[in-house]
């Protein structure tokens, strides 16, 4: 029997099976929980704090209009409604931008932590933060480009849905209903195919220091010929995330008491939003707090687990096609040597500016 491949970190340095990829993701979360979940929690906390702060400011700016709408919901003035929509619409736009930045930072921090986990090195939170933050703009660019690429077929679906409604209005329902399933069969698989084809781009942007466009090209090149395998493992990772979400959230949802409704008709004078929530929330009690904690746990798990699975798939394809295992073995050997990477006096990590091949070329990782 040949000797087993070396395993300095969470995965063996050889072509990976499904068990190695999923097991490596769980092992990374277990051994490197501090940088992984610490930075992820920080990103989620900043996003939540900023969102709540903006929501509160928007509420204060339209409090009078909201009170009038709640007090007389059947005679809403369009001016009041427009003011409320503009205020909370602006908050939603800012929240989406901040959410994209936070999501990109979490993906970058997951890939940066995995870089050390594969080599068996200790990952310092500060070092992972610097590496992830420096690559966040590139990952954000990948996210925006991937969103545009995937949205194109979905926009086509929306346009053709509008044509469907127009056909129904013109009394040609048979043609419309025969066209819509065909469009669904074309647009949704195309969006899924594009998503899987470029699913390695965030990992390439972090581990190779690639620009967004270069990372997209690298992903397309690595996925070519392995699309179904990549799709199957990503789907399996998504199913695991869904199962964890159901196992954690469903018991709390079933145990949560039904909030007591607030009867606006019994009020002698106009009520405010604060008074409504002041009566509803106390009835939720401890269950609401526990449910919020469970939802936060599920969110942290999903934000970390899927990027790890995608990054491990990326490493697996580079091991199979580009001989990355040899580069990782040499890097792991340098790591274990006195004064190697991971110690204050050690040299630069493999694939850095001094390393042969540099970032973005086959056979190197940053």
In this predicted model, what pLDDT tens digit does every residue of 129-187 receive, in sequence order? 999 999 999 999 999 998 888 777 767 777 776 766 666 666 555 555 566 666 667 77
Q: What is the mean pLDDT of residues 26-51?
A: 89
In this predicted model, what pLDDT tens digit does every residue of 300-330 receive, in sequence order? 899 999 999 999 999 999 999 998 988 888 8
Provide the CB-side half-sphere exposure for 105 (13 A, CA): 22
Structure tokens at 106: 């979490």
- Determine the Cα–Cα distance for residues 219 and 335; give it in Å rounded to an integer: 28
Burial of 192 (0-12, 13-18, 19+ CB in 10 A): middle
Pick the closest to residue 287 from 254, 332, 334 (CA basis): 254
Q: Would you place residue 340 in the very low, low, confident or very high pLDDT band (cuts 50, 70, 90)?
A: very low
Kindly report the pTM of this predicted structure.
0.78
Q: Would you place residue 53 in the very low, low, confident or very high pLDDT band (cuts 50, 70, 90)?
A: confident
In this predicted model, what pLDDT tens digit does every residue of 173-220 receive, in sequence order? 555 556 666 666 777 788 889 899 999 999 999 999 999 999 999 999
Confidence at residue 258, expressed as pLDDT on a 0 to 100 scale: 59
Long-range contacts of 54-57 (CB under 8 A, 24+ apart): 54/91, 54/94, 54/95, 55/88, 55/91, 57/91
Confidence at residue 136, expressed as pLDDT on a 0 to 100 scale: 93
DSSP string, 185-196: HHHHHHHHHHHH
Average pLDDT of the chain is 79
- Determine the Cα–Cα distance for residues 202 and 147; give it in Å rounded to an integer: 13
Provide the CB-side half-sphere exposure for 354 (13 A, CA): 4
Residues 6+ apart with CB under 8 A from 150: 191, 194, 195
Continuous H helices in the chain: 18-31, 33-61, 63-71, 78-119, 125-169, 173-197, 201-207, 212-223, 227-255, 273-280, 285-322, 324-336
């Amino acid at each position: 029997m040949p000797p087993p491949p070396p395993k300095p970190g969470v995965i063996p340095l050889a072509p990976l099976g499904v068990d190695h990829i999923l097991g490596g993701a769980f092992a990374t979360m277990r051994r490197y929980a501090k940088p992984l979940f610490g930075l992820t929690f920080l990103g989620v906390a900043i996003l939540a704090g900023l969102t709540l702060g903006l929501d509160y400011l928007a509420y204060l700016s339209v409090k009078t209009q909201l009170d009038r709408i709640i007090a007389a919901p059947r005679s809403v003035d369009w001016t009041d409604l427009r003011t409320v929509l503009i205020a909370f619409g602006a908050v939603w736009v800012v929240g989406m931008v901040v959410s994209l930045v936070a999501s990109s930072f979490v993906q970058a921090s997951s890939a940066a932590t995995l870089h050390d986990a594969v080599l068996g090195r200790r990952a310092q939170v500060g070092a992972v933060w610097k590496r992830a933050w420096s690559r966040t703009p590139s990952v954000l660019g990948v996210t925006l480009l991937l969103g545009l690429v995937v949205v194109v077929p979905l926009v086509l679906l929306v346009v053709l849905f509008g044509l469907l409604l127009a056909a129904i209005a013109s009394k040609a329902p048979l043609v419309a209903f025969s066209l819509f399933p065909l469009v669904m069969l074309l647009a949704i698989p195309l969006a899924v195919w594009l998503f899987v084809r470029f699913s390695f781009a965030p990992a390439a942007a972090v581990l190779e220091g690639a620009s967004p466009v270069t990372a997209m090209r690298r992903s397309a090149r690595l996925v070519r010929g392995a699309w179904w395998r990549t799709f199957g493992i990503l789907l399996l990772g998504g199913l695991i995330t869904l199962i964890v979400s159901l196992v954690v959230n469903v018991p709390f949802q079933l145990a949560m008491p039904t909030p007591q409704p607030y009867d606006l008709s019994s009020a002698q004078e106009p009520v405010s939003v604060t008074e409504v929530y002041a009566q509803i929330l106390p009835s939720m009690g401890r269950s609401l707090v526990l449910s919020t904690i469970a939802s936060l746990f599920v969110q942290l798990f999903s934000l970390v687990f899927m990027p790890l699975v995608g990054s491990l798939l990326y490493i697996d394809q580079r091991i199979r096609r580009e001989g990355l295992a040899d580069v990782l073995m040499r890097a792991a050997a340098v790591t274990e040597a006195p004064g190697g990477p991971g110690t204050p006096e050690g040299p630069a990590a493999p694939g850095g500016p001094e390393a042969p091949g540099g970032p973005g070329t086959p056979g190197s990782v940053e």
